[in-house]
Chain A
């Protein structure tokens, strides 16, 4: 059951990427023999407007910021989470655990 659902999720995720790549490939092959990859590259760069470049920088910057923030939060989990776990175990010796890693991520043995 879990494998089917994981397989479906994988199919949707990678299916989208494959579809986009296919369309990209088809777009480029339309010009096969008429132009070179260098021409396309030059055209893209020469067409790039300041507003578009700013939008790209904004998007990429936002994603980098999000990724960095997540990384810091996982590190904080490691530092603070283990302390909370120790203190709780002092109070309740038979404290049960979620079996997540110290960073709060899925345990590799539970990952699909």
Chain B
């Protein structure tokens, strides 16, 4: 390979890598924010429908608190990410924010407990789904986390699938030879048990 060939390969690789980087850091990030907002808008619409059907008034504290929180996440969706959450967790005044939020949600849980059990379950489910969306956004909106997380998750899935596959093959074999294994493993188990009790 001549120097020219090497240069062409290096340049085209760099252009491709820059393209992938732009895709991850700009386009993918925008897509994640839009998707996050879309899911939260759906939850907010669901919440609105409960009130529209007259199941709870629009000024009910449980409705107002949940809608306000959804609005907050919608408004600052761009700022939600692994780094900001990590920094917030380490901030000196984080405990103040945390205790204020805890107080707010403790009040919310008290007010939601006054509702009908079915509606209470629906509102708790909306809140849980909202938290799940936030969690997903934190994990999947960071390009760095994505680049490190996806290979780890893929490796774990491959390992899990491999173990299941091996077990699928091994289990019928074991079943077929169970009586033979029992004869061999029985005395072994007894010895191991004996050793275990004296250890």
Contacts and interface: CB of A to CB of B under 8 A. Distances in A.
B18 A9 contact: no
Nearest to B37: A104
Interface in B34-77: 34, 37, 44-45, 48, 51-52, 58-59, 64, 67-68, 70-71, 74-77
A99 B75 contact: yes
B7 A16 contact: no
Contact of B83 (A5, A66, A70): A5
Contact of B11 (A24, A67, A110): A24
A91 B34 contact: no
Contact of B52 (A47, A91, A94): A91
Given A13-B25, A35-B4, A40-B7, A96 B78 contact: no
Interface residues of A, number: 50
Given A9-B81, A31-B3, A35-B4, A100 B18 contact: no
B21 A17 contact: yes
Interface in B82-135: 83-84, 87-88, 91
Contact of A17 (B18, B45, B74): B18
Main SS class of interface, A: helix
Interface string A21-43: 10110011011001100011001
Contacts of A58: none
Given A30-B7, A31-B3, A47-B8, A63 B48 contact: no
7 contacts: A5-B87, A17-B18, A21-B18, A27-B7, A92-B51, A96-B67, A100-B75
Ordered nearest first, which 3 A-B pairs have the shortest CB separation? A98-B74, A5-B84, A13-B25
Interface of A: 1-2, 4-6, 8-9, 12-13, 16-17, 20-21, 23-24, 27-28, 30-31, 34-35, 39-40, 43-44, 47, 52, 59, 63, 66-67, 70, 73, 84, 88, 91-92, 94-100, 104, 106-107, 110-112
